[in-house]
């Protein structure tokens, strides 16, 4: 059995939070109490001498609330407009909260094009590494204001795995609306069994994945397993934890049995950009 204590030694941490984690699902408004806790935890990670990258959803949810839209945008132009409004609001909050702990944050907006084109890829990689060397906390999101079907990543689970693989992250933590991976969806099957550790991804694991479980999010368990494939083959351990309590991040960093751990299984011939 994999020893979780080794997670204490991870130095470069990528944390992904979804819309359902940082907003109230009933209204789409920012959950300030939870966001403050998240920022404090990330600041503590930095105080420990570790590096942290935050991949944050929420822009569209926040933007749609700002204009009084009670459901997900149905057109691309509306989605992009909500993203433009919400991204500015969200970054304002992050900047204010991180400044209270004497940390600077920086906004990084990416599309699939960034990873597929060599020059764009290297520019993004160099920028992220430079920010980390400066002690700045990069906050990454997909650039929904310009993305189209051709260059859309589509969900921040995959985006976080792209980012983690690009910067050679040691640990990727995905905050979800579920405790981790189960043999079936526990919300519909009371006999579903929790899986604490996945040593190797196979067809059985992918069959366990279920669809999205909230109105504000875009990713379900399937996207998280896809992210696990990218991360583990790139040499990164990945953990899925319940985002209802962001203190679960500390538990993972302390080596406690929280969430589902996907053990790194580095493949030197694997190119995550071609997945």
Per-residue pLDDT at 147: 61
Contact 205, 224 (CB under 8 A): no
Per-residue pLDDT at 220: 73
Q: In angstroms, rounded to a whole number, what is the distance separating the alpha carbons of residues 50 and 249?
A: 14
Taking CB atoms within 8 Å and a gap of at least 24, the contacts of 73-80 are 76/148, 79/144, 80/144, 80/145, 80/146, 80/147
Spell out the domains of the chain, with CATH numbers in brackets.
4-274 (3.40.1160.10)
The sign of the dihedral angle between the CA atoms of 232, 112, 155, 132 is positive
Per-residue pLDDT at 186: 80
Structure tokens at 3: 């020893």
Per-residue pLDDT at 206: 80
Distances (CA, A) of 200 to 118, 178, 205, 206, 270: 30, 21, 9, 11, 15
Distances (CA, A) of 59 to 50, 140, 211, 251, 255: 27, 11, 21, 27, 32
Q: Is 33 helix (H, G, I), strand (E, B) or coil?
A: helix
**Which position has the token pair 């699902």?**
25
Question: Read out DSSP for 2-30?
Answer: --GGGGGG--EEEEEE-HHHHB-TTT--B
pTM for the model stands at: 0.91
Distances (CA, A) of 199 to 47, 223, 261, 269: 31, 18, 8, 19
As averages over each run of 10 residues, the pLDDT of the chain (275 residues) reads: 86 93 82 95 97 91 85 84 89 96 96 89 96 97 68 77 95 92 83 91 78 45 89 96 95 94 91 77
Q: Is 181 helix (H, G, I), strand (E, B) or coil?
A: strand
């Amino acid at each position: 059995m994999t020893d979780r204590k080794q997670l204490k030694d991870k130095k470069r941490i990528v944390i992904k939070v979804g819309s359902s984690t940082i907003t109230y699902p009933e209204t789409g408004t920012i959950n300030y109490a939870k966001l403050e806790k998240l920022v404090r935890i990330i600041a503590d990670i930095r105080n420990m001498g570790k590096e942290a990258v935050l991949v944050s959803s929420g822009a569209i949810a926040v933007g749609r609330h700002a204009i009084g839209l009670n459901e997900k945008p149905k057109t691309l132009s509306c989605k992009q407009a909500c993203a433009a409004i919400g991204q500015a609001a969200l970054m304002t909050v992050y900047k204010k909260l991180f400044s209270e702990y004497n940390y600077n944050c920086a906004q990084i907006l990416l599309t699939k094009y960034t990873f597929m084109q060599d020059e764009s890829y290297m520019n993004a990689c160099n920028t992220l590494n430079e920010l980390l060397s400066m002690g700045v906390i990069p906050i990454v999101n997909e650039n929904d204001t310009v993305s189209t079907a051709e260059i859309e990543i589509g969900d921040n689970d995959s985006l976080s795995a792209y980012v983690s693989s690009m910067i050679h992250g040691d640990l990727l933590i995905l905050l979800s609306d579920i405790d981790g991976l189960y043999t079936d969806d526990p919300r519909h099957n009371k006999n579903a069994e929790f899986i604490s550790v996945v040593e190797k991804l196979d067809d059985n694991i992918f069959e366990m994945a279920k669809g999205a479980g909230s109105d504000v999010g875009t990713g379900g368990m399937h996207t998280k397993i896809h992210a696990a494939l990218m991360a583990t083959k790139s040499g990164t351990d990945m953990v899925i934890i319940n985002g209802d309590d962001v203190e679960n991040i500390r538990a993972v960093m302390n080596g406690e049995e929280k969430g589902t751990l996907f053990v790194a299984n580095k493949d030197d011939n694997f190119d995550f950009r071609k997945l």
